[in-house]
Structure 1
Amino acid sequence: MPEDIKFSRRARSRFFRSGILILVTLTACCLDRIGLWTISAQEAGVEELQEPEFIPPSSSIERRIVEYQAGNQRDPFQGLAKINVIQGSGIVEAKSPKSEKPLPRLAIQGIVWGGKFPQAIIDNRVVKVGDRIKLGTREGATIIDIDKEGVVVVFEGQEYKLPAPARSTSSKNPSGG
């Protein structure tokens, strides 16, 4: 052993034990690999596992037939408020049999509905959800929804759906050229 490297007795003992442990592990792995280490399940007295019997499912399941009878109850998939859908080109004059006054004429020039804050251009004014449009009445009309289909407003307690303006399919240049 060189003079400059000296190990304590404790370090040599630890090194020796580690070496023996590695040697035993390698020997066990090699013996297991060549088949000398393991014993068969039959020699150990262990019975082989058997496949469970296949039990086919019964061909029919008896269930009670339940029929829904709504009677005079409302359809749960319909909204609570009644919405009048008005067909047209964007200039609308809607009439409701329940309201005293019909919805005054509103012209929808455009809709921006893709972002967080949808907006519409109604009578040359930009409006958003929650805005009120003055219509000559004390209350006016309130915008409650804007989507690609159109604008929903509440006027005199009645909801009206104003359709989006018709898209132009013309391929002409809008600047006149």
Structure 2
Amino acid sequence: MQVFSTFEYSSYIELAVSELEKKGIKKEGIFIVPLNNRTENRRIFDSVHRADGVSLIDLGMALATAFSVIGASIGFKLIWGPIYWGIISAFVGFILGLGIKLFMFKVIKKKQRLLRGKHSEVILIVDCHSVDAEVVENILWNNLALGVSKVRSDGL
């Protein structure tokens, strides 16, 4: 059986490995793989083939609708009329909403992502017998693993 786990890069990995060795798992059955973290920033604009679920135009569309209604209403009293002022105010509302969303995504959300900051940096793979799998899993959880999964290697 193989037990996979992910860790942040810290001394807890070494503690987990030494505890596993004390429980009878051989060094040949323990495999540690460091991960390369993303160095480039995420793209803001989605393409046709990739979308991250973050919409930048939703607030812009809502503000464009609200501003166009208000602009068309006020436009009855202005010289260009309600259609032109409705279109102008819709454009202003869309630009304002897009600017607000870009600011929120680039400044506020970036700070939250940096503060949250738990990244899987190391994968630890332990090859063990099925009877030892529960003990290995408990050792990994006790040493602050971010995630643990067991896979049977007997083909079942």
Same fold (TM over 0.5): no
More strand by share: 1
Q: Bigger relative contact order, structure 1 or 2, given CA contacts below 8 A and separation 6+?
A: 2
TM range, normalised to the smaller chain? under 0.3
TM-score, with length taken from structure 1:
0.18
Higher-Rg structure is 1
